[in-house]
Amino acid sequence: MPADEGPHLGQRWQETTTVGVRPRMEIVEMDPPHVWTEQGWWHGIEATLSLRFARTPRGCRVEISGDVAGRGPWAVPAAVAGRLAGIAVAADVRKAGRILQQQGT
């Protein structure tokens, strides 16, 4: 994505994860500042992540939902990834929160 281009529905990119997996990604739902949903595909695995934001007196609450599914020989790795995804996503959201807090956003 060019530096001056903001995110938009249908936008696609290739992610690079910390474990070296490089899924193709797409924004499939976007209603700022309320909802962000993205889907990713890597070989026989597909994952969806949805973030729903709600204002609170102290800032923002983020509700996270998602799923990971795999076909054929990718079913078992997808199940394992699905069990670990919650931990990784929660850590990413906490990190983003810390960054935004430091910026005063």
SS3 (DSSP) at 87: helix
Q: Does residue 105 carry a pLDDT above 70?
A: no
Q: Amino acid identity of 81?
A: A
pLDDT at 3: 62
| Cα 11 from chain centroid (whole Å) | 14
Q: Using alpha carbons only, what angle is made at residue 64 by residues 58 and 67, rounded to the nearest 5 degrees? A: 175
Query: Each residue of 3-20: pLDDT tens digit?
Result: 677 899 999 999 988 778
Query: Each residue of 81-101: pLDDT tens digit?
Result: 899 888 888 888 889 889 988
CA distance 70 to 3: 33
Nearest CA among 89, 94, 79, 68 for reference residue 17: 89
Token look-up 């983020």 returns 62
Report, as an integer, the average pLDDT of 45-67. 94
